[in-house]
């Protein structure tokens, strides 16, 4: 099955991707950027940190009709990938290839040729004023970093934009967290209220009602109280004084939240500033630890040396082996073999049943699997098949094959094969995701890293309410010494629970002190739990 990025050659293609798939798409974009820049050289850390923001901007706005202006141009690699230049990304910064910055001669999506800091706001303000003069409806967005916004030209543009009140969105890409930090949960509360059109209308209606009943002085007092309270708990006072409506801070790596915020802000009108907090080098540990070193990366030789901190196994190290074949009546069990890889024993069956069909979890003779492999560079393409026939595939960033087979009337899907990292940049397969279930309602997802030789983990206990009203009890028992864990699911009326209620997200911690300690429901009421990033 083709990767998500294979389906995207333009912003119009991007809009056809379901919102729930955007995080996976961003991971593929980040993987492409990383693999490319480590070979060609270029600005790595900043581009890794801006993937979700640029993806969300193109998902919400209609470029090139809408104006997207990027300051400096250090962060535009994802922009190039999403605007028809993906096939040429390997020519980045090469003679006759793609520019490392925005370039008008290269694409209609690059409105201005960039390279200097602090120019985006003046450019965007000019576009917004011109759009007003010609009676157009195109929207204008300027993306600027927390360093560039301190330039004199940028400050002059902020000052003028607040005065002329044109329709302009400034996105502050804060990747150093140099702006004052937020002050508690009220920040997110006010952000959601102020960007929500229904709130803005309600605020206006209440103010008018107060004025009709008590007079203009009461309205002025209410407005003064609102702004005083907001200034007490929300950062961004400087921008408010300059005439901008300030929103944020927003997590710059939560692409779905960014899409929601940008959609709300799109129709607000007037000068507004969205404060987005990102991390330089996001998704690549060496760049996260030393963003200055990885700000600009030199080209690699034709036979590149391993990237810093990439674990290179000895020549005699065995390939990672993945096998699934067994039945376990009270949950599933995962065994880890060293050396020789990992063996999976997966099953979720209520007591007293012997097959998935008996339990009502899968339709007869219909089984499915999805396997998604990754290494330290990024994610590989996944492959999916349904039915009882065997299938094979080769992920993009690893080499080797996996084969799956399903037997009609039985409770197992067997997945066998070998995988190893592809290329000198990442010879280690870090892990794999396996999903098993029926075609209509896959019920189980498991994610397990494979390359670590030791796990740190704690046992956890969960309960959730299924769509059928049942409350299955979930217990996670872990044995770090053996490298095993078991997730048990039990309920008095478990068999009555729909297949979707059995879907779980599990992630096993890697080395370097990360562990399984906290669970988080991915969506309230969904019955799906995952570990937040900070718990890994």
The phi, psi pair for 154, rounded to 5°, reads -65, -40
The phi, psi pair for 224, rounded to 5°, reads -65, -40
Three-point CA angle 204, 209, 264, nearest 5°: 15
DSSP string, 181-207: PP-STHHHHHHHHHH-HHHHHHHHHHH
Tokens of 161: 């934009």
Q: Please compute the mean of the pLDDT values over residues 262-282 and round it to a whole number.
A: 87
Q: Please compute the mean of the pLDDT values over residues 77-99 and round it to a whole number.
A: 85
DSSP three-state, residue 531: coil
Q: Which residue has the higher pLDDT, 279 or 370?
A: 279
Write down the CATH number for the domain with range 8-181+235-289: 3.40.50.970
Contacts 24+ apart (CB under 8 A), 282-291: 282/30, 282/48, 282/49, 282/51, 282/253, 283/27, 283/30, 283/34, 283/48, 283/51, 283/378, 284/30, 284/34, 284/44, 284/48, 285/309, 287/44, 287/45, 287/48, 291/45, 291/175
Q: Please compute the mean of the pLDDT values over residues 316-339 and round it to a whole number.
A: 28
The phi, psi pair for 22, rounded to 5°, reads -65, -40
C-alpha gyration radius of the chain: 26
Q: Please compute the mean of the pLDDT values over residues 275-288 and round it to a whole number.
A: 79
Q: CA torsion sign, 251 to 513 to 461 to 327?
A: positive
Q: Which residue has the higher pLDDT, 459 or 201?
A: 201
The fraction of the chain above a pLDDT of 70, given in percent, is 41
> 125 Cβ partners below 8 Å, 6+ apart?
142, 157, 160, 161, 164, 166, 168
> Which pLDDT does position 341 carry in this prediction?
29
Beta pairing class for 413-421 and 320-324: antiparallel
- Reported as half-sphere exposure (CB side, CA atoms, 13 A), residue 48 has a value of 27
- Reply yes or no on whether the pLDDT at 40 is more than 90: no
- Reply yes or no on whether the pLDDT at 131 is more than 50: yes
Q: Which of 346, 330, 334 is nearest to 472 (CA)?
A: 330
Confidence of residue 176 (pLDDT cuts 50, 70, 90): low
> Which pLDDT does position 223 carry in this prediction?
56
Segment 147-170, tens digit of pLDDT? 777 778 888 888 888 888 888 999
Query: In which region does residue 407 sit, left (phi positive, over 0), alpha (psi from -120 to 50) or beta (all else)?
Result: beta
- Reply yes or no on whether the pLDDT at 352 is more than 50: no
Residues 151-190: b if buried by 16+ CB within 10 A, e if exposed: bebbeebbebbbeeebbbbbbbbbbeeebeebeeeebeeb
Q: Which residue has the higher pLDDT, 282 or 333?
A: 282
Per domain, the residue ranges of the chain are: 8-181+235-289, 320-535
Contact 278/176 with Cβ under 8 angstroms? no
CA distances for 134 relative to 122, 266, 270, angstroms:
19, 20, 17
Q: Which residue has the higher pLDDT, 356 or 503?
A: 356
Q: What is the mean pLDDT of the chain?
A: 59
Confidence of residue 79 (pLDDT cuts 50, 70, 90): very high
SS (H, E, C) 35-51: HHHHHHCECCHHHHHCH
Q: What is the pTM of this model?
A: 0.50
> Which pLDDT does position 481 carry in this prediction?
38
Segment 105-116, tens digit of pLDDT? 888 888 888 767
> Which pLDDT does position 500 carry in this prediction?
29
DSSP conformational letter for 488: E
Query: Residue 12, exposed/middle/buried by CB under 10 A (0-12, 13-18, 19+)?
Result: exposed
Confidence of residue 210 (pLDDT cuts 50, 70, 90): low
Three-point CA angle 73, 76, 77, nearest 5°: 135
> Which pLDDT does position 244 carry in this prediction?
85
Q: For the chain, how many helices (H) and strands (E)?
A: 13, 20
> Which pLDDT does position 219 carry in this prediction?
54
> Which pLDDT does position 485 carry in this prediction?
36
- Reply yes or no on whether the pLDDT at 57 is more than 90: yes
DSSP three-state, residue 154: helix
Q: Which of 292, 287, 299 is nearest to 38 (CA)?
A: 299
Contact 98/80 with Cβ under 8 angstroms? yes
Query: Residue 20, exposed/middle/buried by CB under 10 A (0-12, 13-18, 19+)?
Result: exposed
> Which pLDDT does position 296 carry in this prediction?
55
Q: Please compute the mean of the pLDDT values over residues 70-77 and round it to a whole number.
A: 83
- Reply yes or no on whether the pLDDT at 515 is more than 90: no
Query: Residue 197, exposed/middle/buried by CB under 10 A (0-12, 13-18, 19+)?
Result: exposed
Confidence of residue 31 (pLDDT cuts 50, 70, 90): confident
> Which pLDDT does position 299 carry in this prediction?
57
CA distances for 163 relative to 155, 271, 291, 407, angstroms:
13, 9, 37, 71
- Reply yes or no on whether the pLDDT at 2 is more than 60: no
């Amino acid at each position: 099955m083709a990767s998500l990025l294979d389906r995207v050659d333009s912003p119009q293609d991007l809009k056809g991707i379901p919102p729930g798939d955007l995080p996976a798409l961003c991971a593929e974009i980040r993987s492409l950027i990383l693999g490319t820049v480590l070979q060609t050289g270029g600005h790595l850390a900043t581009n890794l940190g801006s993937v979700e923001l640029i993806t969300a901007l193109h998902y919400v706005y209609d470029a090139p009709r809408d104006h997207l202006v990027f300051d400096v141009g250090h962060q535009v690699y994802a922009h190039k990938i999403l605007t028809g230049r993906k096939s040429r990304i390997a020519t980045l910064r090469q003679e006759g290839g793609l520019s490392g910055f925005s370039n008008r001669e290269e694409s209609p999506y690059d409105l201005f040729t960039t390279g200097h800091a602090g120019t985006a706001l003046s450019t965007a303000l000019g576009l917004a004023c011109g759009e007003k003069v010609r009676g157009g409806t195109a929207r204008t967005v300027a993306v600027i970093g927390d360093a560039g916004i301190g330039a004199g030209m940028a400050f002059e543009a902020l000052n003028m934009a607040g005065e002329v009140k044109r329709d302009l969105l400034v996105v502050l890409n804060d990747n150093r967290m140099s702006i004052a930090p937020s002050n508690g949960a009220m920040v997110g509360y006010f952000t959601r209220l102020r960007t929500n059109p229904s709130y803005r209308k309600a605020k206006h209606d209440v103010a008018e009602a107060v004025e009709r009943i008590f007079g203009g002085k009461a309205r002025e007092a209410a407005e003064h109280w609102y702004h005083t309270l907001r200034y007490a708990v929300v950062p961004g006072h400087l921008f408010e004084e300059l005439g901008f409506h300030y929103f944020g801070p927003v997590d710059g790596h939560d692409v779905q939240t960014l899409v929601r915020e940008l959609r709300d802000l799109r129709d607000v009108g007037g000068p507004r500033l969205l404060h987005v907090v990102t991390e330089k080098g996001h998704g690549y540990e060496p760049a996260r630890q030393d963003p200055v070193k990885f700000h600009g990366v030199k080209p690699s030789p034709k036979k590149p040396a391993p990237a810093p901190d990439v674990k290179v196994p000895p020549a005699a190290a065995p390939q990672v082996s993945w096998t699934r074949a067994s039945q376990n009546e009270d949950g599933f069990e995962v065994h880890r073999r060293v050396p020789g890889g990992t063996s999976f024993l997966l099953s979720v069956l209520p007591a007293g049943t012997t097959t998935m069909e008996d339990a009502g979890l899968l339709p007869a003779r219909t089984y499915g699997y999805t396997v998604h492999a990754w290494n330290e560079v990024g994610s590989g393409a996944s492959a999916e098949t349904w039915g009882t026939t065997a299938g094979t595939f080769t992920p993009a960033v690893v080499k080797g094959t996996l084969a799956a087979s399903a037997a009609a009337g039985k409770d197992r899907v067997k997945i066998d094969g070998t995988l190893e990292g592809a290329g000198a940049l990442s010879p280690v397969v870090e892990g794999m995701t396996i999903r098993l279930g029926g075609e209509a309602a896959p019920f189980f997802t498991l994610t397990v890293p494979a390359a670590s030789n030791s796990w740190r983990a704690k046992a956890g206990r969960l309960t959730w309410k299924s769509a059928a009203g049942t409350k299955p009890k979930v217990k996670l028992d872990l044995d770090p010494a053996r490298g095993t864990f078991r997730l048990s699911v039990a309920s008095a009326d478990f068999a009555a629970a729909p297949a979707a209620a059995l879907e779980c997200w599990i992630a096993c911690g890697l080395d370097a002190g990360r562990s399984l300690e906290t669970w988080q429901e991915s969506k309230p009421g969904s019955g799906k739990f995952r570990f937040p990033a900070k718990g890994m």
